[in-house]
Each structure stands twice: as structure tokens, then as C-alpha cells.
Structure 1
Amino acid sequence: MATFSPSGFLRIGESDLEYRMIGPAPDQAPTLVMLHEGLGCAALWGDFPDRLQAATGLGVFVYSRAGYGASSPVTLPRPLDYMHREALDVLPKLLDQIGFRRGLLVGHSDGASIAAIYAGGVQDHRLRGLALIAPHFVVEDVSVASIAEIKTAYETTELKQKLARWHKDVDNAFYGWNGAWLDPKFRAWDISDYLAYIRVPIAIVQGESDQYGTTRQIEIAREECYCPVEVTLLKDAGHSPHREAAGPTLNAIAEFVSAVLTDTEARGRAA
């Protein structure tokens, strides 16, 4: 799409996906496409996309996947390969529809996993790098334990009411994610094979107190990737460094984006 409103909905397949476009459009500057966490949506990024746009001067595109925010709901239960479907079916269509020309994917948790599957599974020459916040490449015991705990909290505390402020169908959002991760067959979920096929630099930002994953995820990236992997481990953060340590997270991603785009431009001039 050549021109579009700063916010609205995109029709992708059978779903209407809400979005925000901050800063220059994809035909005017490189674009950072942000992929939210398993209980996130466009609005739950807070002001982080705006701050990222201000820090980089690039366009920032934020959207809610189907089942989240104001986007169309999904049929439950979600298939256990739902992240593969997002990465290999939905995301390519979305990038084409917004006129993505050059830029990076910035993903958090589930969104980071989707970004990694996309980069390894779709050899997209437009993609210059990945910024992954608290990514999952395999399922760990700590992930399952924390996801079981949050199910209890959702059903017994005010968590459901809090999340309902952000999702028009809060049960669809919550159980779509929680049900898949707690399915015993999901323990076999493993996307590490995709990492060997990623041909762009990766930055990983993770909190030392991440309750959903350990530094084993970082070790897997370093073991499997042939591309550069830059790691920022933040002492005072858990699973959401962009909220719990917003300044250091913003700086790490902005510096990575600048370095990656400067490097690719320099190589393009030298070719």
C-alpha cells in the first residue's frame, strides 16, 4: 500500500488486524516492524514504539495479531504451530501490504520467536536485522511453570479485568496463548533449526530475572546461528525489559539498528 492512515485496520486473509504507523512511511525510510508478546497487542507496547521512532528517526509499524487487541478473534484452541503460521503465512502478506522495502523486525517473547522463524524461513532481502527481546527458541521447564501460574492468576485474581482493558475478547487472547503453551505436546516445540538459516545480524535483549526463560535461549542462538549475535543481558529486568528497563533496552536496540543500517548502506556503496 502506497499511503495509509497513521492507525486503522489491515485485512490479511480472514482477519482485520489493527495497526499504528509512527514516523515516515515504508516508502520514505526504513521500517521497524514490531511483533508483540503472547499476551500483548499494539497498545500494550505503551510508548516504547514512539520512543524507538524518536531515537532512530525511522518508521515504526506496530500491529496486533489476530486474537489480540482490537483485531479479529481466532478459533480456539490455537494450533500448536501457531507461531510458524504467523511467521510463514501472515507476516509475509502483511509486509507486502504495508509496502515494506527495508528494515528490521523487533519482537518480544512470542513475537521474537515469530521474527526468528520468518528470518530463517523466508529469505527476505529487504530484512536487515532482528532485535529479539526475551526470545524463545525451545520450551523450558521455567516457561511452562510460569505459564501455569499465570493461568491460575487469570482465573482467580484481577488479572483478567486488567487484560480486558487491552483485548476486546480477553478470553480469546489469553486461552489462545496459554492453552497452546500448556498442551503437553507443545514441549516438543523447537525452532532452533531456523536459526542456522538467518542471514542478518541479531540483537538479543534479555532480563537476568526473566521468569519465562533462561540464558539457555541465548546459548542456543550462539550455538546455532552463523550470523552475528549481539547480546544485552540486563540485571534489573525480567521478561519485559522494554518496560522494566526501558532506557537500556531502547539504547541497545537503537544502537543496533543504527549500526546495522549504516553497515548495509556502506556495503551497498562499495559493491
Structure 2
Amino acid sequence: MGGRIIEVKGKKLYTEHNYSFENRPTIVFLHDSLGSVQLWRDFPAELSDATNCNVLVYDRLGYGRSYPMPTHERPVNYMELEADLLNDLLIRLDIDNAILFGHSDGGTIALITAAKYPEKVEAIICEAGHIFVEEVTLKGVYAAWEAYKTTNLPERLQKYHGDKVETLFKAWTETWTRDDYRNWNIEYLLKNITCPLLFIQGEADEYGTLDQVEKTISQVSGSAEKYIIPGIGHTPHKEAPEQVLEKAADFISKNS
């Protein structure tokens, strides 16, 4: 897939859009808080092949090959704002039949987008998303911050984000550990989600408990199912790719 920069509301985002299947949905991949288009690797293409769906993968502002974010300081509702920007991007690309596949922060953004813009979204696959802040999440963020200071994590991230690494890392860790972020919660939006939902989570996820899954699927208005994978952590599509691919493809084929 060829990539290009698209300007949306003054923000220059790197996108890869593969439209090969006429009258079929587009799977939109939403990366995590340290992720990028590149870090999805072959997974989007494999899911596209398995489902005959088109694909849109993009770097949020400040990530990957997108332009830098102006500051690491984020408002408490930054993921809600990302959902608004995603809606603008879908309008720009004339996509009104999206299947959102979001991981971690991306999973949360997928849920918010489906709640706010239901006419655009046919189904959601939320992988390890969050709807409220847990102690285990903060513990995971502090552990990542320690790794950033004591290991070669900055160099590894630089490979994907270039000179944007410090800003995006601060944006993630400082926002989630701020006092005013403790009460962040999107449960009030869940009732507005009417499309089918698949929530995938590793049973050993180091950033969230199964409460995130149960409270999400019990509060949405559409059909919802969970897929919990034993012994797997925060990135099921990397830790158990074949299982996730098979489950996701089956869910999409039933709902598209």
C-alpha cells in the first residue's frame, strides 16, 4: 500500500489506504499509545485478504510518519478529540462503512467514534481498550516510564517515530498519571454504540483487568461478544496472531 500525507483540520496525517474491494467495508486500524502504521506489520493486509475488505491505516498526529504534535500536554478528553478527527478523516476519504479495529488507546478511540458517529461505523473490534482508569493501568505506565529511562526503549521507538519519541512518550505517560485524569471515564457513551462489537483481551493484560471488557459489553446497545485469550498480555494481535486473525475474520464475515 502506498502511503500519503493527508491534511485534516490543519493536522497532517500519514495514511495508507488500500481500496481493492468495491462495495465492501473498510477496516480502519487504530494504533496504541506508542504505535504506528509500521508497527501493525502484516496484520492489516492479512485481515484484508481473509475478509475481502478494504484497509485504512494511519498514524495519529505526533506518531510514525505523521507531523509532530505541537506539545506533549493533552486535555483529559484527548481521545474524544481523536475520534472527532477520525470522523473528519473518514469524510475526507469518503468512507461510510468502516469496521474499526483499535488496539489499547486505539480501541478506546474506536468505541468513542462508534458512539458519536454511528452512521459511519458498521462494527468494532476493540483490542485491550480502556473505558476508565485502573490502578493496574497506572502501574503499567510507571513500568514503561522506568523502562524508558533505564533501557534502550527510546532507541527502539525512534526507529518508528524519529525525533518525535520524547514528546509522544511524555504525552502518554504524563497524561495518564496526572491527578485530573484519574476520573476519566467513557462509560456514559457506551449506550450510544449500536453496531456489533467484539472485545479481545489477553487474560494477563498488564494494562487492564477484565472489568474493562465486562463493563463495556454489558453497556453497549448493540450485540457484543468477548474473546479472552489465556496467558496473553496487552498485544494479542502480536502475541497470538493466528488466533486473533481467525476470530476477527470470523466476526467481520458475520457482520459485513
Residue 73 of structure 2 is aligned to residue 71 of structure 1:
no
8 Å CA contact 2:80, 2:112 repeated in 1: yes
1:28-107 matched pairs, under 5 angstroms: 28-74=23-69, 75-88=71-84, 90-107=85-102
1:3-18 matched pairs, under 5 angstroms: 6-18=2-14
8 Å CA contact 1:22, 1:50 repeated in 2: no
Query: Which residues of structure 2 form unaligned runs of 5+?
Result: none
- Displacement of 1:119 in angstroms is 0.9
1:151-230 matched pairs, under 5 angstroms: 151-168=145-162, 169-230=164-225
What corresponds to 1:269 in structure 2? none
- Displacement of 1:99 in angstroms is 1.3
- Displacement of 1:22 in angstroms is 3.3
What corresponds to 1:146 in structure 2? 140
Provide the C-alpha distance between the structure 1 equivalents of 2:213 and 2:24, rounded to a whole number of angstroms.
Answer: 31
Provide the C-alpha distance between the structure 1 equivalents of 2:18 and 2:42, rounded to a whole number of angstroms.
Answer: 11
8 Å CA contact 2:197, 2:224 repeated in 1: yes
- Displacement of 1:236 in angstroms is 3.1
What corresponds to 1:133 in structure 2? 127
Provide the C-alpha distance between the structure 1 equivalents of 2:123 and 2:118, rounded to a whole number of angstroms.
Answer: 12
TM-score by length of 1: 0.90
Amino acid at match of 1:14: G
- Displacement of 1:6 in angstroms is 2.8
Coordinate RMSD, CA, aligned: 1.4
1:225-240 matched pairs, under 5 angstroms: 225-240=220-235
Count of residue pairs the alignment pairs up: 254
8 Å CA contact 1:35, 1:62 repeated in 2: yes
Residue 16 of structure 2 is aligned to residue 20 of structure 1:
yes
Look up the SS of the partner of 2:218 in the other structure. helix
Residue 102 of structure 2 is aligned to residue 113 of structure 1:
no
Provide the C-alpha distance between the structure 1 equivalents of 2:96 and 2:105, rounded to a whole number of angstroms.
Answer: 24
Amino acid at match of 1:85: L
Provide the C-alpha distance between the structure 2 equivalents of 1:104 and 1:128, rounded to a whole number of angstroms.
Answer: 5
Moved over 3 A (4+): none
- Displacement of 1:28 in angstroms is 4.7
8 Å CA contact 1:129, 1:201 repeated in 2: yes
- Post-superposition Cα deviations, 1:237-262, rounded to whole Å, max 9, x if no partner, equal 1000000000111111111111001x
